[in-house]
Structure 1
Amino acid sequence: MSSNEQALAALSQQLEGQIAPLDQWSPQQCGTIDIHIVADGRWFHHGTEIKRARLVKLFASVLWREQGQYYLKTPVEQMAIRVDDAPLLIVDWRLATAQNAAHPAVICIDNIGREFVLGAQHPLLIHADPQGQKLPYLQLPYGVQAKLARTVYYAWAEQLAQPQGEEFIIYSAGESFSLGG
């Protein structure tokens, strides 16, 4: 592993040090819980918005996605929840420069304050919505995805994207990602 790769791995590990080991838990499936996450990232329980940010952050820390279904997963039980689009949003970003890096790392910040390095471990994905519009998402741990807020998308398009044919490409942590065309 090169010194650049080691620096990026250390940064990624530092940013993600608070993630629960969901992949090590094998809980019993216990049905569904009336938690609904709407497309703008707000969380509801029995139709009432959860306004306590710490509670949303706690629930988000045990989010798991398997075969397209989102769950809240604990060591003893796993319950399905309803998600309209993506449960989280990327609402901010910053650049971090590792020593000897050809391109800086883009640090993505989600709507509950967690940070992820855009790179091989957390790639940018493009999905088409029901109307066929291509939208960018960041792959997070355990199959969870976060949708890029429009402000982040437009900031990247203006400040980071480099045209390449009909696409716009951004570089982060030694990887390249399409913002679409």
Structure 2
Amino acid sequence: MTDAAGIAAAAGRAAKSGQPPVHLWNPPFCGDLDMEIRSDGSWFYNGTPIGRPEMVRLFASILKREGDSYFLVTPVEKVGIRVVDAPFVAIDADIGTDIAFTTNVGDQVTAGPDHAIELRGTLDAPRPYVHIRRDLWALIDRKTFYRLADAAVPDASGRMNVHSLGTGFPLEF
């Protein structure tokens, strides 16, 4: 049976040269791991929080999404995990001419054609996200969304938008 320690060791070996190329790996499925990423971005293993940020960043580096399912992937194995909402949370943004987000696991992306800002949810409960990598998204936390809303300007139709890398993103439905 695969466990978190074995996956972490394999991920550590694969990550020595930067971001692991999980998009190129297609190992056999080895079963599900009792691991969950909750909607606040916290990671749990066997019902216990993973308290080491380095371990969370390591697991996040080998996360892969296929359809609606999430997996931790190494060159030789793939295990399923649960993700309640989005696997990451955008916890800050440098808002200037462009918008550079930082996630709870240390990823940094600049919103633009390759890293869209998307509004989901409902009119009464909007949920903003930013694309991070390989079909993985981050929920934009409330304080950062409020800062985006403060920087937004109306487009020709009156909808509030933010702009980054020449791309406009609506912040309302």
Partner of 1:9: none
Partner of 1:106: 99
Partner of 2:127: 135
Q: Provide the C-alpha distance between the structure 1 equivalents of 2:87 and 2:50, rounded to a whole number of angstroms.
A: 13
The amino acid across from 1:61 in the alignment is S
Post-superposition offset of 1:90: 0.3
Partner deviation per Cα, 1:55-99 (whole Å, 9 max, x = no partner): 000000011111111111111111110111111100001146xxx
Identical residues among aligned pairs (%): 33
Partner of 1:83: 83
Partner of 1:162: 153
Q: Say if 2:34 is the partner of 1:34.
A: yes
The amino acid across from 2:159 in the alignment is E
The amino acid across from 1:32 in the alignment is D
Counterpart among 109, 115, 124 of residue 122 in structure 1: 115
Long gaps (5+) in structure 1 = 1-16, 97-103
Q: Provide the C-alpha distance between the structure 2 equivalents of 1:46 and 1:54, rounded to a whole number of angstroms.
A: 18
Long gaps (5+) in structure 2 = 1-16
CA contact (8 A) 2:99 2:110 kept: yes
Q: Provide the C-alpha distance between the structure 2 equivalents of 1:20 and 1:178, rounded to a whole number of angstroms.
A: 33
Post-superposition offset of 1:132: 6.5
The amino acid across from 1:88 in the alignment is F
Partner of 2:137: 145
CA contact (8 A) 2:95 2:148 kept: no
Helix, strand or coil at the partner of 2:100: strand
Post-superposition offset of 1:48: 0.3
Post-superposition offset of 1:118: 0.5
Post-superposition offset of 1:23: 1.2
RMSD: 1.8
TM-score w.r.t. the length of structure 1 is: 0.80
Q: Provide the C-alpha distance between the structure 1 equivalents of 2:63 and 2:124, rounded to a whole number of angstroms.
A: 27
Helix, strand or coil at the partner of 1:60: helix
Partner of 2:60: 60
Q: 1:54 to 1:133 in 2, by over 3 A?
A: same
Post-superposition offset of 1:166: 4.9
The amino acid across from 2:22 in the alignment is L
CA contact (8 A) 2:107 2:132 kept: no
Q: Provide the C-alpha distance between the structure 1 equivalents of 2:20 and 2:160, rounded to a whole number of angstroms.
A: 35
